[in-house]
Structures are given as C-alpha cells and as structure tokens.
Amino acid sequence: MSELNTLCTKQGVKCFIDREYQFLHEYCAFMKPLTAALDILQGDCPYGTLLPTLEVLMQKILAVKDSLSRMTAGLPDSIVQANQTHFAGVLDDKDALLGAVSCPKFKL
C-alpha cells in the first residue's frame, strides 16, 4: 500500500484509504480465475475446453468467496450467476460434455 500511495503522490492523485485498498485487493483475488479463463478461451482452443474451463472458473470463484469481506461478498455470486445464465445452453449440452471427454487435455 505504501508503494501505491507513493505512486499516487507522484502523480498528484488522492491516495487510497484502507477500505479502497482492501476492495482492490479482494477484487483482484476473485477476478484472477476469470482472467485466466478468458486467456484460455481467447486462444486457439477446441470446443472441448469450453465446458471444463467454465466449471473450473465457477468453482474457483466460489472458493474465494469465503475470504471476502462484506464489501465484495456478493460479487462472486453475481459472476457465477451471469456465467450460468449466459452459458446455460453449453452447461447442459451433451455435445459439449462429449467434446470435453474426448479432448485429450482433460481426464474423464
């Protein structure tokens, strides 16, 4: 936090208070799995990687939920709910499951 405040002072920007720094730290903690999943899915990946990547993403985001404060406690649930709504067709699709099982990158 001292490095961040030093940088803010050099740039002439108001320094972060403890609650703001805590929010940024927690935000980065639960967004890290999302950024990793996006990196995987933006690459040249077969269809079989979509379902396992989404499932692992939702598990990792929910695992971080217990360590969050009241400020950010609702955000992981919102992200998981949005993924379930947006990818509902893929999460229940037997073709996606077959693609994941037949992908040599993943184990049955």
Q: Which sign, positive or negative, has the C-alpha torsion 85, 87, 90, 91?
A: negative
Judge whether residue 100 has pLDDT over 70. yes
Assigned domain for 14 exists: no
Which two three-digit tokens encode residue 25?
A: 């730290």
Q: What is the mean pLDDT of residues 66-92?
A: 87
Domain encompassing residue 53: 29-102
* Mean of pLDDT values over 32-47: 87
pTM of the predicted model over 0.85 = no
Q: Examine residue 45 and state whether it is found in any structural domain, yes or no.
A: yes
* CB distance 50 to 93 below 8 Å: no
- Say which DSSP state 73 is in: T
How many structural domains are present in the chain? 1
> Under a CB-based contact definition with an 8 Å cutoff, are residues 98 and 92 in contact?
no
Residue 88 lies in a domain: yes
Other C-beta atoms lying within 10 Å of the C-beta of residue 86: 11
In a domain, 39, yes or no: yes
